[in-house]
């Protein structure tokens, strides 16, 4: 007797299929070689049906929400009638289903008695895939051909036989083939685990009910998403933000512009108006722009909605080709992560107008990408890749989180001990920085700094950061966060470095990166003085800044708030604010400003 209409059976199946995706993620974590995977955890796992429709994604990166469906579409476009048991597919081409070259997809079709029922899906950020700069993610490359090995959708295994030619091509084009092959084996191991556990699921439910339940899992997510969208206000909201530059044309800001149109159970996220694609390597693929849109919308929807194709059916994403959000050949895109993160913040800006009590201010602009590569004395290569972020924007009900990964990343931080054991690098500082969080009734997240000392003879340092000229915005009276900072040898020459660069370094050089502070939410003069005092005691805020930003006078000798002085100071600040905002008498005709309508 079929259980297809049994809601309890469906719930058990749904949880089981998501558990398989999570078990795949744990398998990658336990078996991978590279720090960017085992420490940063920059990877995702998923499960698709026989037609390549995403049914479940593991608890991994929201940034990959749009990637698996797009990649699976490319596989099906090329191989729909040429898929057999034992086949395993590989790809990373951003212009044929991929995102950027370091993200390599591995897909394995899963069969039962000769019938294809599903695909096991993995995508991992590999330490190096060749190209002009170690780590393959420099922001100052100007075309895809400089960024590394581009793999079209191909069969890594055909009917169980390894494609040795392809493996040889990969081996000869990457700097650390042992790591790359080790990480590919971790992806294969995850697919093997999925195959084993899925076969047990099919044995329990049978192939027909399994197919039905997978389809129902997708339809269920769509129903929940549309139902949740119907509870939100209908209308249209637009928001604009700016990336400082692309790392090639310094000082030339790049516009991000989004319009959200919502009607009933359907939402359109339209990026028309975003800047044309740029020369630097921060151009997005459409799949990553979709992921940013989905992440922003998911942040205001109820928990419990499965992450799969059903969610995406209710959210239409538009981004014209040839823009920084949808680059076309020969666009460089290795550092496209920066644009994706900033698009999430742009989404928050638009959503905050729609739902002012549910959306947070801008975070640190994350994540910052740092790569250090070179060769030991015996010419053996080393590559350190780190993605770091840690300051959430203030929320309408609470402060921004401190030291927590950006919502779009869901990534962990490298272990200092492991980093120092595996690379010629010492971490001299990893600490919060005072006075950089945006002020507000609820303050933004406090950023941190890291000091990296290089211990080998020579190497190449590559950095991708932002939020230097265009600071993280606050909301509803909250102040913007303070800008990010980069320095070389802060204790001696203290050379200020740009936000994005590639440079040679030598033994003993120290690179310091300071994240941008996150934006605040609400009027700073409404902040609880006790909360201000707590921040001063925890060295997240100086006493001088407490008085300047919040009008709170802290007695550091007694660690208490001077209530009388605070009341007086806040009254003075409100009076000045009122005077500045009051209409002024015009003693002469105002001088017209070009470009403005009088």
Decide: 323 and 238 in contact? Cβ < 8 Å. Answer: no
Residue from 111, 103, 121 nearest 20 by CA: 121
516 to 247, 368, 451: CA distances (angstroms): 18, 10, 15
d(CA 569, CA 579): 15
For the chain, what is the radius of gyration of the CA atoms? 25
The H or E element that residue 297 is part of is helix 286-298
Decide: 134 and 381 in contact? Cβ < 8 Å. Answer: yes
Please state the pTM of the whole predicted model.
Answer: 0.93
HSE on the CB side for 510, CA within 13 Å?
A: 14
What are the extents of the domains in the chain?
7-221, 529-581
Structure confidence at residue 486 (pLDDT): 97
Phi, psi for residue 187 in degrees, rounded to 5: -65, -40
Beta strands in 264-388 (DSSP E): 266-270, 315-318, 368-375, 381-388
Phi, psi for residue 592 in degrees, rounded to 5: -65, 140
Quickly count: other Cβ atoms within 10 Å of residue 454's Cβ. 22
Query: How many separate helices (H) and strands (E) can be counted in the chain?
Result: 13, 22
Please, is 475 exposed, middle or buried when counting C-beta atoms within 10 Å of its C-beta (0-12, 13-18, 19+)?
A: buried
d(CA 267, CA 289): 15
Beta bridge partners of 504: 460
Two tokens, residue 519: 């934006």
Residue from 53, 52, 51, 33 nearest 43 by CA: 33
Q: What string of pLDDT tens digits covers the 598 residues of the chain?
A: 455 578 899 999 999 999 999 999 999 999 999 888 888 889 999 999 999 999 999 988 888 877 889 999 999 999 999 999 999 999 999 999 999 999 999 999 999 999 999 999 999 999 999 999 999 999 999 999 999 999 999 999 999 999 999 999 999 999 999 999 999 999 999 999 999 999 999 999 999 999 999 999 999 999 999 999 999 999 999 999 999 999 999 889 999 999 999 999 999 999 999 999 999 999 999 999 999 999 999 999 999 999 999 999 999 999 999 999 999 999 999 999 999 999 999 999 999 999 999 999 999 987 899 999 999 999 999 999 999 888 999 999 999 999 988 888 878 888 899 999 999 999 999 999 999 999 999 999 999 999 999 999 999 999 999 999 999 999 999 999 999 999 999 999 999 999 999 999 999 999 999 999 999 999 999 999 999 999 999 999 999 999 999 999 999 999 999 999 999 999 999 999 887 776 654 443 333 333 333 2
What three-state secondary structure class fits 43? Answer: strand
d(CA 514, CA 222): 41
Beta bridge partners of 461: 372, 503
Name the percent of the chain in helix, strand, coil, to the closest 5: 30, 25, 45
pLDDT in tens, 255-264: 999 999 999 9
Do β-strands 154-158 and 88-91 pair in parallel, antiparallel, or remain unpaired? Answer: antiparallel
The count of residues in the chain is 598
592 to 199, 321, 529, 580, 598: CA distances (angstroms): 74, 38, 43, 21, 7
What three-state secondary structure class fits 580? Answer: helix
Quickly count: other Cβ atoms within 10 Å of residue 578's Cβ. 9
Quickly count: other Cβ atoms within 10 Å of residue 562's Cβ. 16
272 to 325, 340, 347, 349, 488: CA distances (angstroms): 9, 16, 13, 16, 39
Helical packing angle, 177-205 and 207-230, nearest 10°: 100
The H or E element that residue 349 is part of is helix 337-354
Do β-strands 266-270 and 254-263 pair in parallel, antiparallel, or remain unpaired? Answer: antiparallel
Beta bridge partners of 231: none
Structure confidence at residue 584 (pLDDT): 55
Decide: 280 and 331 in contact? Cβ < 8 Å. Answer: no
Two tokens, residue 503: 């440079």
Decide: 104 and 124 in contact? Cβ < 8 Å. Answer: yes
Two tokens, residue 345: 């913040």
d(CA 575, CA 264): 45
Query: Considering Cα of 20, then 26, then 32, then 37, what sign does the dihedral take?
Result: positive
Decide: 488 and 511 in contact? Cβ < 8 Å. Answer: yes
User: Does residue 277 come out as left (phi exceeding 0), alpha (psi in the -120 to 50 range) or beta?
Assistant: beta
Query: Considering Cα of 92, then 139, then 38, then 52, what sign does the dihedral take?
Result: negative
The H or E element that residue 79 is part of is helix 67-79
Phi, psi for residue 356 in degrees, rounded to 5: -60, -20
d(CA 136, CA 376): 19
Quickly count: other Cβ atoms within 10 Å of residue 592's Cβ. 9
Structure confidence at residue 406 (pLDDT): 86
Residue from 113, 125, 100, 109 nearest 43 by CA: 125
């Amino acid at each position: 007797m079929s259980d297809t209409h049994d809601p309890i059976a469906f719930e058990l199946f749904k949880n089981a299929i998501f558990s398989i995706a999570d078990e795949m993620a744990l398998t990658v974590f336990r078996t991978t070689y590279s720090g960017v995977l085992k420490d940063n955890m920059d990877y995702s796992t998923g499960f698709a049906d026989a037609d390549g429709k995403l049914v479940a994604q593991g608890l991994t990166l929201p940034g990959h929400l749009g990637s698996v469906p797009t990649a699976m579409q490319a596989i099906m476009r090329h191989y729909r009638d040429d898929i057999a048991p034992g086949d395993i597919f590989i790809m990373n081409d951003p212009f044929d289903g991929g995102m950027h070259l370091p993200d390599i997809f591995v897909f394995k079709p899963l069969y039962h008695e000769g019938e294809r029922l599903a695909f096991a899906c993995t995508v991992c950020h590999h330490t190096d895939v060749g190209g002009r700069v170690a780590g393959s993610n420099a922001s100052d490359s100007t075309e895809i051909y400089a960024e590394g090995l581009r793999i079209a959708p191909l069969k890594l295994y055909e009917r169980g036989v390894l494609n040795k030619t392809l493996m040889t091509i990969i081996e000869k084009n990457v700097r650390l083939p042992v790591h790359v092959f080790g990480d590919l084996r971790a992806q294969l191991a995850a697919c093997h685990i999925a195959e084993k556990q899925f076969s047990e699921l099919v044995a329990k439910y049978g192939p027909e009910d399994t197919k039905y339940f997978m389809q129902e899992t997708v339809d269920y997510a769509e129903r929940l998403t549309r139902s949740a969208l119907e509870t939100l206000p209908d209308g249209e909201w637009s928001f604009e933000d700016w990336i400082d530059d692309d790392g090639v044309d310094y000082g030339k800001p790049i516009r991000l512009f989004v319009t959200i149109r919502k009607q009933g159970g359907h939402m359109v996220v339209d990026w028309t108006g975003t800047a044309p694609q740029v020369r630097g390597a921060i151009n997005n693929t459409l799949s990553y722009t979709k992921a940013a849109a989905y992440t922003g919308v998911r942040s205001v929807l109820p928990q419990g909605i499965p992450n799969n194709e059903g969610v995406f059916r209710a959210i239409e994403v538009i981004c014209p080709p040839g823009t920084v959000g949808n680059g076309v050949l020969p666009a460089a895109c290795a550092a496209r992560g920066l644009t994706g993160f900033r698009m999430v913040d742009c989404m928050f800006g638009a959503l905050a107008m729609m739902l002012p009590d549910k959306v947070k201010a801008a975070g640190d602009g994350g994540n910052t990408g740092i790569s250090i590569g070179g060769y030991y004395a015996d010419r053996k290569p080393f590559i350190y890749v780190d993605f770091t972020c840690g300051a959430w924007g203030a929320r309408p009900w609470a402060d921004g989180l401190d030291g927590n990964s950006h919502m779009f990343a869901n990534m962990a931080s490298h272990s200092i001990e492991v980093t120092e054991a595996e690379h010629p690098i010492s971490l001299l500082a990893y600490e919060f920085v005072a006075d950089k969080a945006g002020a507000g009734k609820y303050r933004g997240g406090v950023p941190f700094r890291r000091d990296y000392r290089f211990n080998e003879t020579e190497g190449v340092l590559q950095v991708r950061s932002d939020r230097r000229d265009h600071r993280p915005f606050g909301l509803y009276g909250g102040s913007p966060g303070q800008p990010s900072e980069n320095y070389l040898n802060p204790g001696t020459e203290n050379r200020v470095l740009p936000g994005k660069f590639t440079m040679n370094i030598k033994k003993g050089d120290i690179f310091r990166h300071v994240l941008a502070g996150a934006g605040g939410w609400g009027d700073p003069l409404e902040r609880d003085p006790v909360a201000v005092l707590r921040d001063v005691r925890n060295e997240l805020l100086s006493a001088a800044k407490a008085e300047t930003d919040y009008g709170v006078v802290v007695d550091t000798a007694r660690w208490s708030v001077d209530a009388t002085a605070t009341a007086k100071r806040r009254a003075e600040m409100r009076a000045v604010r009122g005077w500045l905002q009051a209409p002024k008498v015009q003693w002469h005709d105002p001088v017209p400003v070009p470009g403005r309508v009088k």
